[in-house]
Amino acid sequence: MKNFSQNIQENYNFSGEHIDIGVALYENEIFSDTHVSIPLSTLNRHGLITGATGTGKTKTIQKLLERLSDAGVPSVMMDIKGDISGLSMPGEYSEKLQKYIDKFGDLEWQARGFPVEFFSLLNEGGAQVRSTVSEFGPFLFARVLGLSSVQTAALTIIFKYADDHGLLLVDLEDLETLLSFLATDGKNELASYGQISQATIQVIMRQIIVLKSQGASQFFGEKSLDMSDLMRVDDEGKGQINIIRLMNSLRYPQLFSTMMIQILTELFGTLPEIGDISKPKLVVIIDEAHLLFRDLPNEILSEFEVIIKLIRSKGVSVIFCTQNPMDIPEIILSQLGLKIQHALRAFTAKDNESIKKMAKNFPVSEFYDIEKNLTTLGTGEAFVTTIGENGNPTPLVMTKIFPPESRMDTITDAELASFLSISPIFASYKNPINPESAQEILAQKMMMIQSQKREEEAEKARIMTEKERRKNPTMTDAIVESVTKTFGKEIARSVGTKIGGRRMGSIGAEIARGILGSIFK
């Protein structure tokens, strides 16, 4: 259909840098000469990739990461299932793959791997991602602990105390030491910040113990993740793909989802303002994004909304991936320019109502029955719309996604070990650093306080003993006093007699008694 092809070509023909992700589809016909592209200059308007399980969503993400790397754009990807790690290895040719490639006409496909760095949260195999407790801040840390609003307020006061007293909270032991101090020797100092019950402090300490039992001690500490390590380009100009492996962390969604919020917060806080640029400095892809927003407190959601809105001016693009667009809060959804929608499944009346509602979120199309097609898209097919170079949404187009050129499967343990053995980034994060922090400072302070208490108690005991001795003199004290007085009298009498005879004896005795009495009195 000439009108369809012309329409798509005109709206997806970009003059600036762009990446091709597939070709147009209309009425089951593939238009191999009509490429569907994404302009890199508007990719920082963020994006959304959605679709039911088994519709090709992961392969679309993989292809997008390949294209970004070729364009010199670094990326960060959360790998929940481990299958995205295949980006590091060349793809494997097969007859099934060739049949898929043939659908694109003269598509050039070359098996190749891409520059990948592996990171890990909880022993998944990769450079250890770390963050200090101070960097997390009270609100994010409270979310990880699962604290109530009252307990979160108490934790905020505790963090304020630490800031005011120069106590760096590096790891969980630092926070535990601070809590122990504030519950005992430091409770009078804490009182000036507000009343915090001992029960609240005990609850926080118990939750930290639970967190440590999940293996989180290896996450909180130094060296914390340097954002510049995520923004590298290799010697050939290809963007580094940073894969954060989270297979073991899936059991603790609060931890890894909060970690992603913290990374975005850190990027927002450290990167300079650069405004609109020809391509992003970094693309962050958050898979299983529904876990990010599950039970997210309104305070954090409000701050996250601001970060998403403003971080694009720092050259960062954020792309959320989930099964259903309804998983994303509306205040976030409204800020996402790129939309790649794979097939949805409708099993209930409620599902059908949701699909009707979702169909209205796409630009009106003169070519597609969006509501109907949302449930009939094939594997590897998706509706695509993005923000054009003119700032307007492009027409919705059904797209056949190009196949990845890297391995569409996981890598083996041996292959992973080989990568890590030559990775300078893995080596730089391998061993934790233990700087002087709250634990060491407070331990010394508590030792001084205890030493001072012992000295004060010893002085009190000495004073009490002295008072008791004077109040109730012992037999020894009485004998000493009696002997002293008798000895003094005899000396005085002898001196008086020798100096003045009988007449002077009394005078001499008085003089001697006065002298000796003043000495022994």
In this prediction, residue 462 carries a pLDDT of 77
In this prediction, residue 508 carries a pLDDT of 42
Confidence of residue 458 (pLDDT cuts 50, 70, 90): confident
Confidence of residue 509 (pLDDT cuts 50, 70, 90): very low
Mean pLDDT (the chain, rounded): 87
Token pair of 323 as six digits: 């099964």
In this prediction, residue 294 carries a pLDDT of 87
pLDDT tens per residue, range 127-144: 999 999 999 999 999 999
Token pair of 26 as six digits: 């209309």
Token pair of 40 as six digits: 């890199």
pLDDT tens per residue, range 405-453: 999 999 999 999 999 999 999 999 998 887 776 777 877 777 777 777 7
Judge whether residue 4 has pLDDT over 80: yes
In the numeric block, the tokens 């580094």 are attached to 240
Sequence-ordered alpha helix ranges (H) in 192-237: 198-213
User: How many angstroms from the chain centroid is the CA of residue 162?
Assistant: 19
Instruction: Tell me if residue 18 falls in helix, strand or coil.
Output: strand
Nearest residue to 285 (alpha-carbon basis) of 336, 242, 320, 333: 320
Judge whether residue 273 has pLDDT over 50: yes
Rounded mean pLDDT, 274-278: 90
Judge whether residue 481 has pLDDT over 80: no
Token pair of 232 as six digits: 């590298």
Q: Where are the beta strands (DSSP E) in 312-369?
A: 316-322, 338-341
CA separation for the pair 55, 46 (Å, rounded): 22
Q: What would the DSSP string read from start to end of 453-508?
A: HHHHHHHHHHHHHHHHHHHS--HHHHHHHHHHHHHHHHHHHHHHHHHHHHHHHHHH
Q: Are 399 and 22 in contact (CB under 8 A)?
A: yes
pLDDT tens per residue, range 150-178: 999 999 999 999 999 999 899 999 999 99
Rounded mean pLDDT, 16-25: 96
pLDDT tens per residue, range 348-383: 888 888 888 888 889 889 999 999 999 999 999 999
Considering the chain, what percentage of its residues have pLDDT values greater than 90? Answer: 66
Angle, CA of 497, 501 and 506, to the nearest 5°: 60
In this prediction, residue 488 carries a pLDDT of 53
pLDDT tens per residue, range 432-445: 887 776 777 877 77
DSSP 8-class letter at 299: H
pLDDT tens per residue, range 23-73: 999 998 999 999 999 999 999 999 999 999 999 999 999 999 999 999 999
In this prediction, residue 520 carries a pLDDT of 35
Q: What's the whole-model pTM score?
A: 0.83
Higher-confidence residue of 258 and 510: namely 258
